[in-house]
A and B are shown apart, each in its own frame.
Chain A
Protein backbone atom coordinates (compact mmCIF):
# COMPACT_ATOMS: atom_id res chain seq x y z
CA UNK A 1 0.00 0.00 0.00
CA UNK A 2 1.13 3.56 -0.61
CA UNK A 3 2.34 5.35 2.49
CA UNK A 4 1.52 8.77 3.84
CA UNK A 5 2.58 11.39 1.32
CA UNK A 6 3.47 14.96 2.15
CA UNK A 7 4.04 17.82 -0.25
CA UNK A 8 6.23 19.76 -0.63
CA UNK A 9 9.23 18.09 0.97
CA UNK A 10 10.87 21.48 1.46
CA UNK A 11 9.56 25.03 1.45
CA UNK A 12 11.46 28.28 1.92
CA UNK A 13 9.36 31.41 2.31
CA UNK A 14 9.78 34.91 3.65
CA UNK A 15 8.27 36.13 6.86
CA UNK A 16 4.74 37.35 6.24
CA UNK A 17 4.06 35.04 3.30
CA UNK A 18 1.59 32.21 3.22
CA UNK A 19 2.42 28.53 2.86
CA UNK A 20 0.13 25.53 2.45
CA UNK A 21 1.31 22.04 3.30
CA UNK A 22 -0.51 19.01 2.01
CA UNK A 23 -0.86 15.52 3.40
CA UNK A 24 -2.33 12.49 1.66
CA UNK A 25 -3.01 9.75 4.21
CA UNK A 26 -3.09 6.04 3.56
CA UNK A 27 -6.31 5.19 1.79
CA UNK A 28 -9.03 4.16 4.21
CA UNK A 29 -7.43 5.74 7.28
CA UNK A 30 -10.02 7.80 9.12
CA UNK A 31 -7.54 9.34 11.54
CA UNK A 32 -5.15 12.03 10.37
CA UNK A 33 -2.70 13.91 12.56
CA UNK A 34 -0.37 16.85 12.20
CA UNK A 35 2.78 17.15 14.28
CA UNK A 36 5.75 19.48 14.03
CA UNK A 37 9.31 19.64 15.22
CA UNK A 38 10.75 23.06 15.70
CA UNK A 39 14.55 23.16 15.56
CA UNK A 40 16.09 21.64 18.68
CA UNK A 41 12.76 20.86 20.29
CA UNK A 42 10.52 17.82 20.71
CA UNK A 43 8.00 16.68 18.15
CA UNK A 44 4.73 18.28 19.20
CA UNK A 45 1.15 17.35 18.44
CA UNK A 46 -0.83 19.94 16.52
CA UNK A 47 -4.22 18.42 15.75
CA UNK A 48 -6.22 15.30 14.96
CA UNK A 49 -8.92 14.74 12.37
CA UNK A 50 -11.41 11.91 12.33
CA UNK A 51 -12.56 11.90 8.74
CA UNK A 52 -13.37 15.55 8.04
CA UNK A 53 -13.98 16.56 11.67
CA UNK A 54 -11.42 18.12 13.99
CA UNK A 55 -11.31 15.80 16.99
CA UNK A 56 -8.57 17.57 18.91
CA UNK A 57 -6.87 20.81 17.96
CA UNK A 58 -5.36 21.56 21.34
CA UNK A 59 -1.84 21.70 19.93
CA UNK A 60 -2.42 24.39 17.32
CA UNK A 61 -0.11 27.23 18.35
CA UNK A 62 -2.23 30.21 17.26
CA UNK A 63 -4.79 31.40 14.76
CA UNK A 64 -2.20 31.81 12.02
CA UNK A 65 -2.49 28.06 11.50
CA UNK A 66 -5.51 26.62 9.70
CA UNK A 67 -5.98 22.92 9.01
CA UNK A 68 -8.65 21.45 6.80
CA UNK A 69 -9.66 18.01 5.64
CA UNK A 70 -12.53 18.55 3.27
CA UNK A 71 -14.16 15.29 2.23
CA UNK A 72 -12.19 13.34 4.79
CA UNK A 73 -9.35 12.47 2.44
CA UNK A 74 -6.28 14.67 2.10
CA UNK A 75 -5.53 17.48 4.52
CA UNK A 76 -3.92 20.88 4.21
CA UNK A 77 -2.20 22.98 6.83
CA UNK A 78 -1.96 26.66 6.01
CA UNK A 79 0.27 29.12 7.81
CA UNK A 80 -0.72 32.74 7.23
CA UNK A 81 1.22 34.91 7.77
CA UNK A 82 4.33 32.87 8.46
CA UNK A 83 6.70 33.92 11.22
CA UNK A 84 10.33 32.97 11.82
CA UNK A 85 9.42 30.69 14.73
CA UNK A 86 7.25 28.59 12.42
CA UNK A 87 10.36 27.07 10.86
CA UNK A 88 10.66 23.36 11.44
CA UNK A 89 9.56 19.99 10.12
CA UNK A 90 5.84 19.32 9.84
CA UNK A 91 4.82 15.68 9.98
CA UNK A 92 1.54 14.15 9.00
CA UNK A 93 0.40 10.73 10.18
CA UNK A 94 -2.64 8.56 9.63
CA UNK A 95 -4.16 5.48 11.21
CA UNK A 96 -7.15 3.18 11.02
CA UNK A 97 -10.21 3.99 13.07
CA UNK A 98 -9.48 1.06 15.45
CA UNK A 99 -8.11 2.25 18.77
CA UNK A 100 -4.56 1.05 19.14
CA UNK A 101 -3.83 1.09 15.42
CA UNK A 102 -0.32 2.37 14.83
CA UNK A 103 0.33 5.76 13.29
CA UNK A 104 2.00 5.81 9.90
CA UNK A 105 4.06 8.92 9.37
CA UNK A 106 4.98 10.76 6.22
CA UNK A 107 8.49 11.99 5.51
CA UNK A 108 7.63 15.49 6.66
CA UNK A 109 7.78 18.95 5.13
CA UNK A 110 10.75 21.06 6.12
CA UNK A 111 9.59 24.67 6.36
CA UNK A 112 12.10 27.49 6.52
CA UNK A 113 10.87 31.02 7.14
CA UNK A 114 13.48 33.71 6.44
Chain B
Protein backbone atom coordinates (compact mmCIF):
# COMPACT_ATOMS: atom_id res chain seq x y z
CA UNK B 1 0.00 0.00 0.00
CA UNK B 2 1.11 3.53 -0.53
CA UNK B 3 0.28 6.69 1.33
CA UNK B 4 1.53 10.19 1.74
CA UNK B 5 1.37 12.45 4.81
CA UNK B 6 1.68 16.19 4.72
CA UNK B 7 2.66 17.19 8.19
CA UNK B 8 1.24 20.71 8.18
CA UNK B 9 -2.21 21.74 7.01
CA UNK B 10 -1.25 25.44 7.09
CA UNK B 11 2.10 27.21 6.85
CA UNK B 12 2.55 30.96 7.12
CA UNK B 13 5.78 32.73 6.17
CA UNK B 14 6.85 36.29 5.53
CA UNK B 15 7.74 37.40 2.06
CA UNK B 16 11.43 36.87 1.40
CA UNK B 17 11.86 34.14 4.03
CA UNK B 18 12.41 30.43 3.31
CA UNK B 19 9.57 27.99 2.71
CA UNK B 20 9.52 24.42 4.00
CA UNK B 21 6.54 22.17 3.30
CA UNK B 22 6.92 18.71 4.78
CA UNK B 23 5.91 15.42 3.25
CA UNK B 24 6.48 11.81 4.31
CA UNK B 25 5.54 8.86 2.16
CA UNK B 26 4.97 5.19 2.64
CA UNK B 27 5.44 2.82 -0.26
CA UNK B 28 6.42 -0.79 -0.57
CA UNK B 29 8.15 -0.19 -3.88
CA UNK B 30 10.21 2.54 -5.49
CA UNK B 31 7.77 5.39 -5.77
CA UNK B 32 7.49 8.32 -8.09
CA UNK B 33 6.91 11.45 -6.05
CA UNK B 34 5.47 14.77 -7.11
CA UNK B 35 4.55 18.15 -5.77
CA UNK B 36 1.54 19.92 -7.27
CA UNK B 37 0.27 23.41 -6.54
CA UNK B 38 -3.24 24.77 -6.80
CA UNK B 39 -3.88 28.49 -6.90
CA UNK B 40 -7.42 29.68 -6.14
CA UNK B 41 -9.93 28.70 -8.84
CA UNK B 42 -7.20 27.10 -10.91
CA UNK B 43 -6.26 23.56 -11.81
CA UNK B 44 -3.45 21.59 -10.25
CA UNK B 45 -0.05 22.46 -11.68
CA UNK B 46 3.00 20.19 -11.53
CA UNK B 47 5.86 21.82 -9.60
CA UNK B 48 8.37 18.99 -9.78
CA UNK B 49 8.72 15.22 -9.83
CA UNK B 50 11.15 12.62 -8.53
CA UNK B 51 11.67 9.43 -10.49
CA UNK B 52 14.99 8.12 -9.05
CA UNK B 53 17.35 9.96 -11.40
CA UNK B 54 18.57 12.42 -8.76
CA UNK B 55 17.65 12.91 -5.12
CA UNK B 56 17.55 16.70 -5.35
CA UNK B 57 14.88 17.77 -7.78
CA UNK B 58 14.50 21.30 -9.06
CA UNK B 59 11.10 22.53 -10.12
CA UNK B 60 9.44 25.61 -11.43
CA UNK B 61 9.30 29.00 -9.69
CA UNK B 62 12.43 28.33 -7.62
CA UNK B 63 11.04 25.34 -5.72
CA UNK B 64 13.03 22.20 -5.08
CA UNK B 65 12.59 18.98 -3.15
CA UNK B 66 14.97 16.40 -1.77
CA UNK B 67 14.18 12.70 -1.73
CA UNK B 68 15.51 11.07 1.45
CA UNK B 69 14.91 7.35 1.39
CA UNK B 70 16.21 6.79 4.95
CA UNK B 71 13.68 9.28 6.27
CA UNK B 72 10.96 8.47 3.70
CA UNK B 73 10.61 12.19 3.16
CA UNK B 74 10.19 14.47 0.18
CA UNK B 75 10.06 17.98 1.63
CA UNK B 76 9.48 20.99 -0.62
CA UNK B 77 11.62 24.09 -0.13
CA UNK B 78 12.15 27.52 -1.59
CA UNK B 79 14.84 29.93 -0.38
CA UNK B 80 12.72 33.08 -0.56
CA UNK B 81 8.92 33.22 -0.57
CA UNK B 82 7.04 35.49 -2.93
CA UNK B 83 3.49 36.72 -2.50
CA UNK B 84 2.49 34.79 -5.62
CA UNK B 85 3.49 31.52 -3.89
CA UNK B 86 0.39 31.67 -1.72
CA UNK B 87 -1.57 28.57 -2.72
CA UNK B 88 -2.31 25.01 -1.68
CA UNK B 89 0.45 22.46 -2.21
CA UNK B 90 0.01 18.72 -2.59
CA UNK B 91 2.56 15.98 -2.15
CA UNK B 92 1.69 13.06 -4.40
CA UNK B 93 2.96 9.50 -4.78
CA UNK B 94 2.60 7.03 -7.58
CA UNK B 95 3.57 3.37 -7.56
CA UNK B 96 5.77 2.14 -10.37
CA UNK B 97 3.53 0.51 -12.91
CA UNK B 98 0.37 2.18 -11.72
CA UNK B 99 -0.97 5.41 -13.14
CA UNK B 100 -3.28 6.42 -10.30
CA UNK B 101 -1.88 9.11 -8.03
CA UNK B 102 -2.27 9.19 -4.25
CA UNK B 103 -2.55 12.72 -2.90
CA UNK B 104 -1.64 14.10 0.48
CA UNK B 105 -4.19 16.21 2.30
CA UNK B 106 -2.59 19.45 1.15
CA UNK B 107 -0.73 22.32 2.83
CA UNK B 108 -2.08 25.81 2.49
CA UNK B 109 0.78 28.31 2.25
CA UNK B 110 0.19 31.90 3.31
CA UNK B 111 2.75 34.57 2.51
CA UNK B 112 2.62 37.67 4.66
CA UNK B 113 3.91 41.00 3.29
**A61 within 8 Å of B by Cβ?**
no
Partner of B103 from A3, A42, A108 at Cβ < 8 Å: A42
| Separation of A108 and B98 alpha carbons in the complex (Å) | 23
**A55 and B43 within 8 A (CB):** no
Main secondary structure of the interface of B (DSSP, over half): loop
Q: Contact: B43 with A33, CB < 8 Å?
A: no
When the two chains form their complex, are residues B46 and A103 in contact, meaning their CB atoms are under 8 A apart? yes
Which of A31, A43, A58, A93 contacts B90, CB < 8 Å?
A: A43
Shortest distance between the CB of A99 and any CB in chain B (Å): 8
**B99 & A107 in contact (Cβ 8 Å cutoff):** no
Nearest B-chain residue to A5, judged by Cβ: B43
B100 and A107 within 8 A (CB): no
CA separation between A22 and B51, bound complex, in Å? Answer: 31
Chain B's nearest CB lies how many Å from the CB of A13? 20
Quick one: which of A33, A42, A48, A108 has the most chain B CB within 10 A? A42
User: With contacts defined as CB atoms under 8 Å apart, how many contacts are there between chain A and chain B in the complex?
Assistant: 49
Interface flags for A34-56 (1: CB within 8 Å of B; 0: not) read 01000001111100100000011
- Count class of interface residues, chain B: 20 to 34
Q: Which of B51, B100, B101, B105 has the most CB of A within 10 A?
A: B100
Inter-chain contacts of A55 with B (CB < 8 A):
99
Residues of B within 8 A of A43 (CB): 44, 90, 103, 106
What mask results when residues 84 to 113 of chain A are scored 1 for a CB within 8 Å of chain B, else 0? 000000010100000010111111100000
A42-B104, A100-B51, A102-B49 in contact; A48/B43 too (CB < 8 A)? no
> How long is the Cα–Cα vector from A93 to B98 in the complex, in angstroms?
15
Q: How far is the CA of A43 from the CA of B102 in the complex (A)?
A: 8
**Interchain nearest-CB distance for B107 vs A (Å):** 12
On whether the beta carbons of A105 and B45 are closer than 8 Å, the reply is yes
The answer to whether A108 and B43 touch across the interface, beta carbons within 8 angstroms, is yes
Q: Which B residues lie at the A interface, using CB under 8 A?
A: 32, 36, 41-46, 49, 51, 90, 98-106
Would you list the 10 A-B pairs with minimal beta carbon distance, nearest first? A105-B44, A105-B43, A43-B103, A45-B100, A107-B43, A102-B46, A42-B105, A42-B103, A106-B43, A48-B99
